[in-house]
Structure 1
Amino acid sequence: MKKVLAFDLDDTLAVTKSPVSDRMAVLLGRLLEHYDVCVITGGTFKQIRSQVIDRLNVSPQQLARFHAMPTCGTRYYRYDALGGEWELQYAEDLSEKERAHIVDVLEKTAKDMGIWCEEPAGEIIEDRISQITMSALGQQAAPEDKYAWAEKFKDVRPVYRDKVAEQLPGLEVRIGGTTSTDITRPGIDKAYGIGKLIDALDISKDEVLFFGDKLNEGGNDYPVKMMGVDSIAVDGWETTAYALDGVLGVTE
């Protein structure tokens, strides 16, 4: 029996960098009546709050069953229902020297490959302390532009990831969201985050069901699948919503 439903965020629960739909907000609220819910994403905690948490109409007790794991599980937040605050459970931060080197490698490699955007929509490289993220068009690019870029450069992204990884031995380099590449400490990925969640809740991996849109090898959801957690591949929030209708149909 599943006790935890875990989700990637962009293109699994919502359109990239956008709030979850009304339908998804309602589904997540219903899930929190029966399950613990985890959102584990390459994005920041601020993104989880704006895209998901702020859209939920749930009680403090339900919110206490929500587990926020930003930056690919390098950080973990839980809600204290009594105190009314989100509390950081752990953080696997990179050093300042490591972060500066990563930024240099990401930029130089993108320029060498001719994929550096000269007129980005927001920051191209974001220092998230526990993770460095390179968003090819900038953090604030429109979803339609991101999807078009991802399709155009779908064969280039793995090459870029590999070239960056060659220059960052001892660090984890992964294809992230629609246009992003994520770098963290070695072994600190979504599988690490889900493992920490399993330990915190004192459950087994058989009691977790994970939904993600990048479960293919090299994708940032892939480590969860490889650790043996039951996983469902989706290709957008609508697919996830359809699956959750089925889950709730059996549960409620």
Structure 2
Amino acid sequence: MNSFRLIKSKMSSKKILCLFDVDGTLTKPRQVIEADMEQFLETLKTHASVGLVGGSDLVKIAEQMKGMSVLDKYENVFSENGLVAHKYGEEVHRQSIANHIGEANLQKLINFSLRYMSELELPVKRGTFVEFRSGLINLCPVGRSCSQAERDQFAEYDKEHQLRSKFRAALIENFGHLGLRFVIGGQISLDAFPEGWDKTYCLRFVENAGFDEIHFFGDKTSEGGNDYEIFLDSRTIGHTVVSPEDTRKQVKELLNF
């Protein structure tokens, strides 16, 4: 048996979970998954288990994955970092940030964020600057109702001026004592959630499921990004990707198909 076949044989004998970030990893930022990636994931399911873990809520993940049928296509779908967890299409877990930190602290965080964002001068501002989700608060300086062109424009502006990094530093300074984490996700926003409620939260649902290896693929794996903690976690083998095309390339190289 040559070395290629030997590697393939060893990989195929293992029970592997490939866990994917969604936005920027399986899809272009806030875009719908393309047909070739859909087909690739279907092929991948013949080689490994496939799971999704996104920072967005389930509605937004479903929008990018072409509908709520996403829950039937993949064994594990973790929205809001796994704070809302679905297995075989059924909701098995839901966590609440409001219950965890209390209404008073929640309002202090929201009020501070609104004041901070109100003083930013950007190329454009739209609506929905604060979005309350079950397990986290999403903070968006440009406003989540911006168009795709405005989203792209803000992303470039943010790269130059580091607006979200500065906002994150201010949030850590003022609310870090509450045990909250603040991470940069996607093109336009930050997520705020209690310590330990990052994407590693989802691992509790798969770490004892008999997998020999759990591979995580994400595009925000640098410190401060919302893939950072799960990328470094000892329970996963982390892979940094830069696009859906890169994701396909790396998975094919990993599993030799």
TM range (shorter): 0.7 to 0.9
Identity %: 23
Q: Is the CA contact (8 Å cut-off) linking 1:16 and 1:143 kept in structure 2?
A: no
Q: Is the CA contact (8 Å cut-off) linking 1:92 and 1:185 kept in structure 2?
A: no
User: For the pair shown, which has the larger CA radius of gyration, 1 or 2?
Assistant: 2
1:203 pairs, out of 205, 211, 221, with: 211
Matched residue, 2:78:
69
Matched residue, 2:229:
223
List alignment gaps of at least 5 residues for structure 1.
80-85
Matched residue, 1:232:
239
Q: Which structure 1 residue ranges, 4+ long, deviate > 4 Å from structure 2?
A: 55-58, 115-118
Q: What is the aligned length?
A: 235
In the alignment, is residue 176 of structure 1 matched against residue 189 of structure 2? Answer: no
List alignment gaps of at least 5 residues for structure 2.
1-13
Quote the Cα distance in structure 1 between the aligned partners of 2:121 and 2:24: 23
State the Cα distance separating 1:56 from its structure 2 match.
7.2
2:164 pairs, out of 139, 157, 162, with: 157
State the Cα distance separating 1:203 from its structure 2 match.
3.4
Quote the Cα distance in structure 2 between the aligned partners of 1:31 and 1:53: 18
Q: Is the CA contact (8 Å cut-off) linking 2:138 and 2:192 kept in structure 1?
A: yes
State the Cα distance separating 1:180 from its structure 2 match.
0.9
1:111 pairs, out of 95, 101, 118, with: 118
Quote the Cα distance in structure 2 between the aligned partners of 1:74 and 1:104: 24
Deviations 1:111-153 (A, max 9, x none): 34x1578741x42211112111012322243334323312222
State the Cα distance separating 1:92 from its structure 2 match.
2.0
In the alignment, is residue 10 of structure 1 matched against residue 23 of structure 2? Answer: yes
Deviations 1:151-194 (A, max 9, x none): 22232221110101222222111111111100112211111222
1:32 pairs, out of 37, 41, 45, with: 45
In the alignment, is residue 52 of structure 1 matched against residue 46 of structure 2? Answer: no
Pair 66,147 (structure 1): closer, same or farther in 2 beyond 3 Å: farther
Quote the Cα distance in structure 2 between the aligned partners of 1:43 and 1:124: 15
RMSD, matched Cα: 2.5
Quote the Cα distance in structure 1 between the aligned partners of 2:252 and 2:42: 12
Quote the Cα distance in structure 1 between the aligned partners of 2:143 and 2:39: 31
Pair 30,217 (structure 1): closer, same or farther in 2 beyond 3 Å: same
Q: Is the CA contact (8 Å cut-off) linking 2:15 and 2:210 kept in structure 1?
A: no
2:93 pairs, out of 87, 90, 93, with: 90
Pair 126,57 (structure 1): closer, same or farther in 2 beyond 3 Å: closer
